[in-house]
Amino acid sequence: MARILLTGATGFLGKHLFRHFEKMGHEVFGTANRAQVDAPIFYCDIRDQLAVEDIFHRVQPEIVIHCAAISSVTSSAAQDYYRVNTVGTENMIHATLALPHQARFMFISTAGVYGNQDTDLLHEALCPKPVHHYGMSKFCAERVLMNHAERINYTIIRPFNIIGESQSGEFIMPKLVNAFHDRLPDVYLGNINVFRDYIDIYDACNLIAKLTFNPAAIGEVCNLCTGRPVSIQELLGILTEITGHEIGVQVNPALVRKNEVWRLLGDVVKLEALTQGPINGLRLEDSLRRMLAAKANV
């Protein structure tokens, strides 16, 4: 079993990954950006190189899974994206390289690096064209990591839209689930003519674990997706069928992004090759039912 350090361990993906690797029998330690945490999760500001080095010295990880990031695409503090997502990642890389042993490094990037492309199916060989600071800061971090390709056993993972219970309400899926659960008459959205590739949190954790322990994934960039496009209208239809509630959709101009990525659909070919099987994920309806049930139990 491996000794794992997982950054962002109290975030949406991080806390699910933490439990997933623990259930696999690994010794898991985590970092969080708030002080009210208990071991084996430690407070660490990844912008602070000395703080990062101290955590690495204490944990001595064999595997580093770097999830910590500013993940919203709507923040107005542009410089924070680069301080956390790019410089923070560089601090993690240098601390990994300073270990007395060679550690595995899993970097959770984003499909947001692709931006708007000339093809509907986004594959890893495309030249990234990020359209917001979140995607750009993650792409910068990818390039920093690639600069150390000869010295570090990395894999870059580009998740598309991961969904599941306990996800922040600022994202589209929990926002819709909350609105239908509360039986609101209307929901206010931004651009509604968009298509996204949604993957369930439990499937995401399982696939990340498979990539982590597959030597063939070292040095690779890999999508984390299902390959299926889903529209806002389809989401509304599924939620209406599950709840029996119809909801009005109002466009809020304040939520409309001028640099919107209209169609975000991942190519699963490399993912299926590196995880050695087809992506047999949960149905979207099953994920939504679980999210609604979790909301009801709060």
- Which residues carry out catalysis? 134
Residue 45, judged by CB atoms within 10 A of its CB (0-12, 13-18, 19+), counts as: middle
Q: What does residue 266 show for φ and ψ, rounded to 5 degrees?
A: -90, 145
Paired tokens of 176: 């819709």
Separation of alpha carbons 100 and 116, rounded Å:
42
Q: What DSSP string describes 93-147?
A: HHHHHTSSS--EEEEE--GGGSBS-SSSEE-TTSPPB--SHHHHHHHHHHHHHHT
Say if residues 285 and 238 touch (Cβ distance below 8 Å): yes
Paired tokens of 238: 């599924």
Among all chains, which residue has been given the structure tokens 């979140």?
134
